[in-house]
A and B are shown apart, each in its own frame.
Chain A
Amino acid sequence: MKFIQFYLVSVFLTILLAPSYAVAHRVNIFAWMEGDDVAVECGFSRDSPARDGRITVFDAKSGEELLQGVTDKKGHFRFPVPQSVRRDAHGLRIRVNAGEGHQSEWLIAADELTLSCALPDARTQPSATEAAAHVAASASLLSMSGDGDTQEAVRRIINEALDAKLAPIRHDLAAAAASGPGLQEIIGGIGWILGIAGIALYFKGRRG
């Protein structure tokens, strides 16, 4: 009896003290723009961050390795957008390797980069109807400010404010896309297995 008690206590102690990182299915990675920086977050499930995960950033088009880093205690990593990628309008491919064979990737498209980092010549051209209203509105602004530099500065400030406001929403979207399987999927999986077994039984039964 004493042995069993000791055994149960030791089981619960080891479970309590055990690290959880390796008992996971896959590592999730999200990345989003925050101003001129790219913020990366890595985790195993909703509340367990991937500490000390090795981050490697590639040019999405050429496959060239741009920079490396390690996530912090909360699974976060930040890096400024490399100049070469911004200049050539390539995307970013961010890879995390969290050890024990857990690896994931996240793509940041080129247009997302250029949207966030105000580039004077890479702006999207407004359509004809929009342009008319635009000219009228910006005419007064220009008459006050005088040159294109100020306009660019305003644009930059607006972009930064929008990024700051949108960052949590982007993060939530990414988190929702990577959430674990729900009840429906689990039950669906059981159904698949029983279905396969049923088909196997049918064919084995026909053969006799």
Chain B
Amino acid sequence: MHISEGVLSPAVLGAGAALTAMGTAVGLRKLDYDRLMTVAMLSAAFLVASLVHVPVGFSSVHLMLNGLLGVLLGFAAFPAILAALALQALLFQYGGLTILGVNTFCMAFSGVLAGYCFKAVARICPGPKGQKAAAFCGGALGVALAGLFTASALAFSDEGFVTTAQLLFLAHLPVMLLEGIITMFMTSFIARVRPEMLHWR
């Protein structure tokens, strides 16, 4: 879901960059010393996950993990995803530097919202089962919202919002399910091993 350079108008690029700057500022303020290495490791996981294509059937899928980052990091997902996407743009020419703001906002803000959704669902239904359901919702919602935000950004270019949103949603349905399952397993593993990681502000 990287938008290429030259597709969007300068106004959308500027808005994306401003929103990403704000999100990153909030993320860095909430980030304390002890969690820095966690953020870096999850940023590396985000970088690698979207590069590894898993061949399934006639097509291949790759993970996005923005939901997982949001669930585990909250607003600190912004700097993590910004770093990973900047490196993808510089090293692999995915996306581009001018469009980095829009791409980061689409991926990171959806992750942050997914993180809050995880918190809300986990509070409504407590217990390990509720937490699993919450993590699944978070992982799947991260992908779905990223598609929605990407489609909204593209709505300002010459592509229609509805068709793009539908295409992205359909193509990412399997990714949503997969991400939900992976987020569920990761979260329940972390809840057992290092439960304090789940309690970000």
Contact = CB atoms under 8 A, between A and B. Distances in A.
A101 B60 contact: no
Contacts of A193: 40, 43-44, 47, 83-84, 87
Contacts of A180: 51, 92
B36 A100 contact: no
Interface string B79-117: 000011001100111110000000000000000000000
Interface in B34-74: 36-37, 39-40, 43-44, 47-48, 50-51, 53, 56-62
Nearest to B177: A11
A104 interface: yes
B30 interface: no
A11 B177 CA distance: 7
A51 B50 CA distance: 22
A97 B84 CA distance: 25
Pick the most buried of A100, A189, A200: most chain B CB atoms within 10 A of its CB.
A100
Interface stretch (A21-29, A71-79, A117-125, A148-156): A21-29
Interface in B148-190: 150, 153-154, 157, 159, 164, 167-168, 170-175, 177-178, 181
Interface stretch (A12-20, A34-42, A80-88, A133-141): A12-20
A11 B39 CA distance: 30
A14 to B, nearest CB: 5
Interface in A164-208: 180-181, 185-186, 188-190, 192-194, 196-197, 200-201, 204-205
Given A18-B173, A18-B174, A26-B2, A99 B164 contact: yes
B26 interface: no
Interface size class for chain A? 35 or more
A190 B46 CA distance: 10
Contacts of A27: 4
B91 A188 contact: yes
Contact of B61 (A10, A18, A101, A181): A18
Contacts of A19: 59, 170-171
Interface of A: 10-12, 14-23, 25-27, 45, 48, 97, 99-105, 180-181, 185-186, 188-190, 192-194, 196-197, 200-201, 204-205
Interface of B: 1-8, 33, 36-37, 39-40, 43-44, 47-48, 50-51, 53, 56-62, 83-84, 87-88, 91-95, 150, 153-154, 157, 159, 164, 167-168, 170-175, 177-178, 181
Closest 3 CB pairs of A and B: A197-B40, A20-B59, A101-B3
10 contacts: A14-B177, A15-B177, A18-B174, A20-B60, A23-B61, A23-B171, A45-B53, A100-B150, A193-B40, A197-B36
